[in-house]
């Protein structure tokens, strides 16, 4: 699997070079096998080590794998929502290309590093250009990994465009981002783009089962389903919830998972929806407020789940349209931090209106 290349030029390891020093420190965290420590976050402990370990995205991973094997790696642009394996894929490529020389051959910069135009001009250029002296004769290329590239300034991106072109002979750039439209078109066109979609629940389940087995956890079937549901295809989220639930309770049940994340249980949502659809305004308000306080729910979580419930129940489409529209307005307002009590009143008011419309439609 991993190819090991001959020891490299000692000049490359010069500790006086700040770019390489920071790179080395990070490599240990991101790429190396973490020590088996109880406190190691599982997202790091179970980060795929090789391309074969990366779940889902088989077509993308196979393509990248083939290009890597044939030493024809293009500049890459991986984009998609968080926790879908973008960083892991690139780190696995680096491991495959460089084996234990991994830390010297890759410059990893993420959003926590300063990546203004100066860094592009200095650090990246330094890293990219040194290779031409020590590796000129070899076919091995270095890798510059720009994680969360959408957080880079426009100026830095423009500067990078030129750097990419200049060092294409011996350096490959891998850009990773969530929002591809924040990358300037000139950079996009220099890279081969791969879109990472949220993981299918089948893969999330499979990967979670692997961790459950390795950690010898006690997880019920409904607990596993709850984890998959709450993760929404974000594997990092799934593992984080699994770990925090494990710390909070010995057995990982549906209830424990929802309790740990503070999300309302499906049966709570059913109860709330029942009140919204059947009780008077005042009673609904009192009951929902009471449950909200007792169980510590956030109104936006309730609204999100109630919306899914509205999709499921039978009602004339014009009533549903109005209701969904109201709910989306509510969510929008809550994102600005409006008063929870007033918005709860508005939620109940929307349902009251929908109920009147239902009654009118039935006549």
Rule CB under 6 A: say whether 56 interacts with ligand ADP: yes
Report which secondary-structure segment, H or E, holds 109: strand 106-109
Rg (CA), the chain: 25
Rule CB under 6 A: say whether 86 interacts with ligand ADP: yes
Pairing verdict, β 171-177 and 76-79:
parallel
Q: By CB under 6 A, name the one of 31, 64, 68, 84 that touches ligand ADP.
A: 84
Name the packing angle between helices 266-278 and 340-362 (round to 10°): 60
In the complex, residue closest to ligand ADP by CB:
85
CA distances from 118 to 121, 156, 159, 166, 334 (A): 5, 8, 9, 17, 39
Q: By CB under 6 A, name the one of 23, 60, 64, 87 that touches ligand ADP.
A: 87
The contact pattern for ligand ADP, residues 5-44, with x = CB under 6 A and - = no contact, is: --------------------------------------xx
- Nearer of residues 31 and 83 to ligand ADP, judged by Cβ: 83
By rule CB under 6 A, what count of residues binds ligand ADP? 22
DSSP string, 168-229: TTTEEEEEEES-GGGS-HHHHTTSEEEE-PPPPHHHHHHHHHHHHHHTT-EE-HHHHHHHHH
Q: By CB under 6 A, name the one of 51, 55, 92, 177 that touches ligand ADP.
A: 55
Cβ of 110: how many Cβ atoms within 10 Å? Answer: 16
Rule CB under 6 A: say whether 82 interacts with ligand ADP: yes
- Nearer of residues 88 and 125 to ligand ADP, judged by Cβ: 88
DSSP letter for 49, please.
Answer: -
Residue 180 near residue 188 (C-beta atoms within 8 A): yes
The least distance separating Mg ion from the CB of residue 20, rounded to whole angstroms, comes to 22
The least distance separating ligand ADP from the CB of residue 195, rounded to whole angstroms, comes to 11
Judged by CB under 6 A, the chain residues 220 through 259 that form the site for ligand ADP are: 235-236, 239
Cβ of 85: how many Cβ atoms within 10 Å? Answer: 25
Rule CB under 6 A: say whether 54 interacts with ligand ADP: yes
* CA 137/CA 329 separation, integer angstroms: 62
Binding site for Mg ion (CB under 5 A): 87
Judged by CB under 6 A, the chain residues 168 through 207 that form the site for ligand ADP are: 196, 199, 207
The least distance separating ligand ADP from the CB of residue 54, rounded to whole angstroms, comes to 5
Dihedral sign, Cα of residue 252, residue 255, residue 258, residue 260: negative
The least distance separating ligand ADP from the CB of residue 204, rounded to whole angstroms, comes to 9
The least distance separating ligand ADP from the CB of residue 194, rounded to whole angstroms, comes to 11
| Segments in 34-184 forming alpha helices (H) | 42-45, 58-69, 86-98, 102-105, 117-119, 125-134, 154-166
- Nearer of residues 84 and 284 to ligand ADP, judged by Cβ: 84
Of 21-29, 50-58, 68-76, 166-174, the segment contacting ligand ADP by CB under 6 A is 50-58
- Nearer of residues 252 and 303 to ligand ADP, judged by Cβ: 252
Binding site for ligand ADP (CB under 6 A): 43-44, 46-48, 54-57, 82-88, 196, 199, 207, 235-236, 239
């Amino acid at each position: 699997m991993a190819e090991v290349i001959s020891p490299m030029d000692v000049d490359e390891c010069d500790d006086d070079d700040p770019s390489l020093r920071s790179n080395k420190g990070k490599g240990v965290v991101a790429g190396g096998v973490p020590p088996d420590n109880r406190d190691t976050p599982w997202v790091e402990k179970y980060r795929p080590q090789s391309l074969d370990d990366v779940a889902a995205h088989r077509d993308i991973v196979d393509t990248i794998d083939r290009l890597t094997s044939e030493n024809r790696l293009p500049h890459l642009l991986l984009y998609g929502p968080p926790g879908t394996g973008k960083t892991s894929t690139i780190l696995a490529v680096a491991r495959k290309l460089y084996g234990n020389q991994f830390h010297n051959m890759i410059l990893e910069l993420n959003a926590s590093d300063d990546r203004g135009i100066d860094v592009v001009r200095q650090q990246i250029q330094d890293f990219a250009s040194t290779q031409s002296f020590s590796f000129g004769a070899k076919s091995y290329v270095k890798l510059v990994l720009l994680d969360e590239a959408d957080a880079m300034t426009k100026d830095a991106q423009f500067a990078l465009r030129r750097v990419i072109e200049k060092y294409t002979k011996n350096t490959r750039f891998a850009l990773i981002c969530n929002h591809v439209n924040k990358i300037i078109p000139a950079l996009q066109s220099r890279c081969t783009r791969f879109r990472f979609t949220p993981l299918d629940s089948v893969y999330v389940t499979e990967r979670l089962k692997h961790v459950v087995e390795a950690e010898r956890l006690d997880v019920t079937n409904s607990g596993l389903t709850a984890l998959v549901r709450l993760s929404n295809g974000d594997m990092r989220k799934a593992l984080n919830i699994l770990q925090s639930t494990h710390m909070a309770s010995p057995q990982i049940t549906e209830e424990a998972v929802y309790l740990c994340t503070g999300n309302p249980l499906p049966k709570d949502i059913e109860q709330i929806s029942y009140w919204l659809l059947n009780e008077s305004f005042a009673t609904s308000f009192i009951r929902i407020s009471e449950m909200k306080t007792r169980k510590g729910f956030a109104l936006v979580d309730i609204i999100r789940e109630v919306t899914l419930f509205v999709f499921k129940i039978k009602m004339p489409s014009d009533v549903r349209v109005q209701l969904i529209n109201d709910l989306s307005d509510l969510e929008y307002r809550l994102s600005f931090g409006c008063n929870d009590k007033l918005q709860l009143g508005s939620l109940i008011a929307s349902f009251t209106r929908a109920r009147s419309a239902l009654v009118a439609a039935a006549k």
